[in-house]
């Protein structure tokens, strides 16, 4: 898609208007002029975010048929469906930038676009459903609430609804874990074991450290991102510690300690080699996640063809 440039208005004027809009904290809308780099960065981030929501249905979807009660099953089903909805809002936001939804999906299944590292870990017990809600959706909220003020209008507006739903997801996870912690010793051990496995991957969701994040500086200047990766990671640790204490679980980090001077928790360094392996396709579940997504895309060919034929017929008759 080319940027709209009204006749008689110079590129320099348009750039000036764009810069002023960003400086005034106003929103860039799809038909506004924008630098190519801004458009490209947004398509990259929004597409990765959309793919994450869709791939993110798989780890928990794994437990739908084995939920321990009808109540738990209904809650989990609603959550997984919400994630599908989030993916759809986000693909729509990417389309307003000129991206093509099918093309983005093909790029995902061919490994040309990323999705969140967190969804490449397996869900081994039902406690993982609670831990994902509490920590993974908790990290997602921490990252995404500031994105409600992102400079691109459709992305920021999509985030408002997404965050409301993520907040429900986080609470259902916490409530599930709190219920298990009031149960038997075996259940409490299951929760702790699950928290031990998810803590470090949850911290990695925020992306590489600031000094190794190639995109943060420019994205902050454009107000696509409002905080750096490390700022949000710190916020998440500070938010999670009192919740862990209330639940009665610990995090597997010997360096976690309150720092009176900073008014924040100190914490250890995630294993960034593991992160690199996971985002380059070598995590425990990467191959399975992509194989499932590819199969769903291929199985859906007839639905897309039928929808296109129906739309074409409607166009002919109107």
Instruction: Report d(CA 101, CA 92) in Å as an integer.
Output: 8
Q: How many CA atoms does the CB half-sphere of 32 hold within 13 Å?
A: 22
- Choose the binding region for ligand 3HC from 190-198, 200-208, 247-255, 299-307 (rule: CB under 6 A): 200-208
Return the residue of 53, 60, 128, 253 that touches ligand 3HC, per CB under 6 A. 53
Using DSSP's 3-state secondary structure scheme, residue 289 falls into helix
Of 21 and 131, CB closest to ligand 3HC: 131
Q: What is the dihedral of CA 202, 50, 284, 176, to 10 degrees?
A: 50
Name 259's bridge partners: 264
CB 193 within 8 A of CB 127: yes
Of 14 and 128, CB closest to ligand 3HC: 128
Return the residue of 27, 39, 49, 235 that touches ligand 3HC, per CB under 6 A. 49
**Among candidate residues 79, 90, 81, 242, the one with its CA nearest the CA of residue 166:** 79
Which residue's CB atom is positioned nearest to ligand 3HC? Answer: 140
Binding mask 68-107 for ligand 3HC (x = CB under 6 A): ---------------x------------------------
DSSP string, 81-99: HHHHHHHHHHHHHHHTTT-
CB 142 within 8 A of CB 78: no
Instruction: Report d(CA 27, CA 5) in Å as an integer.
Output: 18
Of 187 and 277, CB closest to ligand 3HC: 277
Return the residue of 48, 187, 243, 292 that touches ligand 3HC, per CB under 6 A. 48
Instruction: Report d(CA 32, CA 110) in Å as an integer.
Output: 32
- For tokens 């904290």, name the residue: 25
Of 14 and 199, CB closest to ligand 3HC: 199
Q: Which residues, 216 to 245, sit near ligand 3HC by CB under 6 A? A: 216, 219, 225, 229
Return the residue of 58, 105, 117, 192 that touches ligand 3HC, per CB under 6 A. 117
The site for ligand 3HC (CB under 6 A) is made up of 44-45, 48-49, 52-53, 56, 83, 114, 116-117, 136-137, 140, 143, 204-208, 213-216, 219, 225, 229, 279
């Amino acid at each position: 898609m080319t940027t709209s440039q009204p006749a008689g208005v110079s590129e320099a004027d348009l750039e000036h208007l764009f810069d002023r809009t960003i400086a005034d904290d106003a929103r860039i809308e799809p038909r506004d002029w924008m630098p190519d780099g801004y458009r490209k960065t947004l398509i990259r981030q929004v597409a990765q975010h959309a793919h994450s929501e869709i791939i993110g249905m798989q780890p928990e979807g794994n437990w739908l048929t084995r939920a321990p009660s009808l109540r738990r099953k209904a809650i989990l089903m609603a959550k997984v469906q919400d994630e599908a909805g989030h993916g759809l809002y986000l693909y729509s936001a990417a389309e307003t930038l000129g991206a093509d939804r099918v093309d983005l999906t093909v790029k995902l299944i061919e490994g040309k676009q990323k999705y969140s590292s967190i969804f490449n870990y397996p869900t081994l017990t039902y406690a993982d459903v609670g831990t994902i809600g509490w920590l993974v959706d908790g990290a997602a909220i921490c990252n995404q609430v500031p994105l409600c003020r992102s400079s691109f209008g459709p992305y920021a507006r999509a985030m408002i609804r997404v965050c409301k739903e993520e907040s429900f997801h986080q609470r259902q996870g916490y409530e599930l874990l709190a219920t298990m912690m009031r149960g038997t010793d075996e259940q409490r051990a299951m929760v702790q074991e699950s928290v031990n496995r998810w803590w470090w991957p949850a911290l990695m969701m925020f992306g590489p450290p600031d000094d190794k994040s190639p995109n943060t500086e420019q994205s902050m200047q454009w107000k696509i991102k409002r905080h750096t990766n490390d700022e949000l990671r710190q916020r998440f640790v500070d938010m999670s510690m009192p919740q862990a204490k209330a639940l009665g679980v610990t995090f597997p980090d010997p360096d976690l300690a309150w720092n009176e001077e900073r008014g924040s928790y100190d914490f250890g360094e995630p294993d960034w080699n593991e992160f690199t392996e996971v985002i380059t396709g070598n995590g425990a579940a990467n191959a399975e996640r992509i194989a499932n997504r590819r199969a769903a895309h291929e199985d859906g060919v007839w639905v897309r063809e039928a929808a296109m034929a129906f739309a074409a017929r409607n166009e002919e008759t109107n």
